[in-house]
Amino acid sequence: MSSYGPRPNPVFFGLALITIGLLFLLREIGVIPDVSLWTMLWLGVGGWLFIGTLAGNRRGWFWPLTLLAVGLAMLLRDLEILSPDFALWPVWVIAMGVAITLEATQHRDDEPKDPWQRTIDV
């Protein structure tokens, strides 16, 4: 096993590609509104990381929540719910604060409190 943790499930990666392809196809045929590629990228990567965190394949809430919050703000701007001159930096700061707070309060029962202290199960 590698030191980087468990490998991602190929089924999950395949489903992610299918979802992204369907979103682009629906956008091209006019079923969903025309949003920018960057908005879809932020939401796609943030959603992928968020689902990976929920599934236990990765740890940490910082990047998933930050990317999703910025992507959501960009989506609201693309859909003209927010004005085009809406500044994204406050959303980024709030998302970072929420993510840091969640990571600090997350219980990690499988890790020893002291990283130098390891127990060996016999």
Digit-coded pLDDT (tens) for 64-114: 888 888 888 888 888 888 887 878 788 878 888 888 888 788 755 555 555
Domain with 31 in it: 10-105
Residue 4 lies in a domain: no
H runs (alpha helix) in 56-118:
62-78, 89-105
Question: Cα separations (Å) of 107 from 21, 54, 82?
Answer: 36, 14, 36
Residue 110 lies in a domain: no
Residue 120 lies in a domain: no
Place of tokens 């600090």: 104
- Whether the per-residue pLDDT at 18 is higher than 60: the answer is yes
Residue 68 lies in a domain: yes
Query: Is residue 63 very low, low, confident or very high in pLDDT (cuts 50, 70, 90)?
Result: confident
Residue 40 lies in a domain: yes
Give the Cα separation of 40 and 31 in Å (integer). 15
Residue 81 lies in a domain: yes
Count how many domains the chain has: 1
